[in-house]
Chain A
Amino acid sequence: MALVQLPGMVGRELGSSEGLRVVELNIGAQHPASGHMRLIVYLDGDVIVRVDPDIGYVHRTVEKLAEGREYVRIISLVERMTIIDACNVTLPYVEAVERLLGVEPPPRARYLRTILCEVNRIASHLYGLGIGGIFLNHSTMYMWAFGDREVFIHLASLLTGSRLTHTYPVFGGVRRDLPQVFREEFEKAKRYMLRRLREYDKVFFNNPVIRGRLEGVGVMTAKQAVALGATGPNLRASGVRYDARMTGYAAYGELDFEPVVGSEGDALERVWVRLREIEASLELIDRALRGLPEGPFMAEKFTKTVPPAVRHWLGKGRLKLPGSYVRLKTRPGEVLGRGEMGRGEITYYLVSDGGMKPYRLRIVTPSARNVVLFDALARGHTLMDLPAIYGSIDYFPPEADR
């Protein structure tokens, strides 16, 4: 570590007693608002001069574990980085492997993936809003967001049979067809959520106390955001029109996807972009449900070898896999999978040597990219602004630590 050059302090590496002006405060790992991490905050009076995020408390060696597993078993492994955003985190991986396998998912599967991705995105944004709320001690926003998130978890469990860890997209398609009740239930969820967003406005976003906490805090200009490599809503809040969904993976290319872009780049704008993305996602799901093509939800390549004894399940909207699915072999090569998660862009770099297991799976998660923002945005603010900045970045330690 380089010498710490702090104003009013000779670096503590020098062991000087003159450094007493700056207080070193450990926020975490046991702290009500730290999450699975530690923030080492250097304070001059009440002003933050530096923040060192100490990450890695929930590191689970996902990349290394992936090297020892067959492709299909990795889906539910990478899902565990962000179980609250399960479809978004697995989809780029599944699409990357599909490209190596040379399998094209049928259009219906691509639409169903999009629908679940957006349901997950709403749930993930609500989670972020809730945590952002409790960081400002606004317990009502916290409970409301978590209570309303339950609506979207319910929708996801209707579609996939699981509340959080859906393992829904698999190579060649998806695991369940759209159930009959989904459209009707989604219609209700949409109406409910749009009404609730107005209530969020009244209690949280237009609340003068919250406005004061978020407005003008942690301002990030577009230039800074790009230089720091920020991603997701944090990047778009600074006015940069970039979203991995613009590449048109899954069915986004056919749904006239338009990213939500903010302008001010402060904490309020970051939270606001998430709020407007919830609306945009509701609209996207609506469009995807209306344009949902008929047809199979799994590629012909795999369904044709399903044993005849269990074929009847496919007609009932349930997937049956052929035995060869466990030991899929890809062609040797390198492939890059990109996708937009709730918190930003996730990148998988997959190297295959032609075997049943990947040679290397490199994962860059959005939270891993956003962790630099702690130091960049918090400097010069007071200690009380730190939770506001943390909440507005929507940082998720398990995702960053992998």
Chain B
Amino acid sequence: MLERSVDRRRGGHRSRPNVVKAHLDAIATAAKRLLEPPITLPYPDYMEARPPGYRGVILFHYEKCIGCSLCAQICPARAIKMYRVPGDKRLRPGYNVGRCIFCGLCVDICPVDALSESLVHDKVYEDVPSMDMDPVDWALWSRRVMDEERSPEKPLLRARLDPERGIVYEEAQPASSGGEG
């Protein structure tokens, strides 16, 4: 025979609010919220201005690189590989932004500031091969990303905390990641 009686032990010392009051409280609390504005970031029309020190896509400054390959060694996702560049004696890092997990360890270990983090996170690519960049591509692409940082396509909104409303987005001026180091 199946044991159908489940031990529905009632909370012994748990306070039970008055049922009618609890219903009215719930409805009133929800209804009060009807008048308050949403906290959503109107995303495709506005972009979020990332806080200073944000870890976006990695920028490469070719002229500073000494070709030590530490970045490629520390990269947990193997997004950075070393390439042989024609006319250059040293190996240089290339970057697959599709594999990148934005941990920023490569920036931390770079001994000469040849790598830096941008404030740009949302990039769209038309195909997979264009996400895999060799060192020269990466360096040129980094300049474009820096331009984009300075003059973004969409207006920016910066998140700020508010003790009454939680997160609030307000108009912000583009900031630079200080990518030049």
A binding-site residues for B, Cβ under 8 Å = 7-8, 44, 47, 49, 69-70, 72-77, 140, 147-148, 150-151, 154-155, 157-158, 160-162, 165, 167, 175-176, 179, 185, 187-189, 191-192, 195-196, 199, 202-203, 206-208, 211, 215-217, 219, 263-264, 266, 268-269, 307, 309-310, 318-323, 325-327, 380-381
Contact = CB atoms under 8 A, between A and B. Distances in A.
A320 B29 contact: no
B109 interface: yes
Contact of A72 (B23, B25, B55, B74): B74
Contact of B108 (A73, A175, A185, A191): A175
Nearest to B181: A310
Contacts of A202: 22, 25-26, 28-29
B50 to A, nearest CB: 8
Interface stretch (B10-18, B83-91, B142-150): B10-18
20 contacts: A70-B73, A76-B105, A154-B51, A157-B54, A167-B103, A176-B53, A188-B161, A192-B161, A206-B26, A216-B9, A216-B10, A266-B11, A268-B11, A310-B112, A318-B53, A322-B109, A325-B109, A326-B109, A380-B5, A380-B6
B19 interface: yes
A162 B105 CA distance: 12
Contacts of A188: 161-163
Contacts of B76: 69, 73-77
A167 B162 contact: no
A192 B25 CA distance: 20
A41 B107 CA distance: 50
A320 B181 CA distance: 13
Interface string B32-64: 000000010000000000111111000000000
B: interface residue count bin: 35 or more
Interface centre among A72, A202, A203, A211 (most CB of B within 10 A): A202
Interface string B86-129: 00000000000000011111001111110001000000000000
Nearest to A140: B30
B108 A320 contact: yes
A155 B7 CA distance: 43
B110 A310 contact: yes
B11 A192 contact: no
A165 B102 CA distance: 8
A151 B163 CA distance: 10
A49 B29 contact: no
Interface of B: 1-14, 16-17, 19, 22-23, 25-26, 28-30, 39, 50-55, 68, 70, 73-77, 101-105, 108-113, 117, 159, 161-167
B30 A326 contact: no
Nearest to B39: A147
In terms of DSSP, what is the predominant structure of the interface of chain B?
loop
A350 to B, nearest CB: 17
Contact of A196 (B26, B73, B111, B166): B166
A310 B107 CA distance: 11
A185 B160 CA distance: 8
Contacts of A322: 109
Nearest to B78: A73
Given A47-B4, A192-B164, 17 more contacts: A7-B2, A72-B74, A73-B76, A158-B51, A161-B51, A179-B53, A192-B163, A196-B166, A199-B29, A207-B23, A216-B8, A216-B10, A268-B14, A309-B111, A321-B105, A326-B70, A381-B6
Contacts of B104: 161-162, 167, 175
Nearest to A160: B55
Contact of B9 (A147, A165, A264): A264
A326 B73 contact: yes
Contacts of B8: 215-217, 219
Interface centre among A167, A185, A319 (most CB of B within 10 A): A167
Contacts of A148: 166
A73 B74 CA distance: 6
Contacts of B161: 151, 154-155, 185, 188-189, 192
A143 to B, nearest CB: 10
A192 B70 contact: no
A192 B162 CA distance: 7
Contact of B17 (A44, A206, A325): A206
Contacts of A310: 110-113
Contact of A323 (B7, B12, B102, B111): B111
A186 to B, nearest CB: 8
B74 A203 contact: no
A263 B12 CA distance: 9
A162 B55 contact: yes
Contacts of B117: 161
A147 B9 CA distance: 34
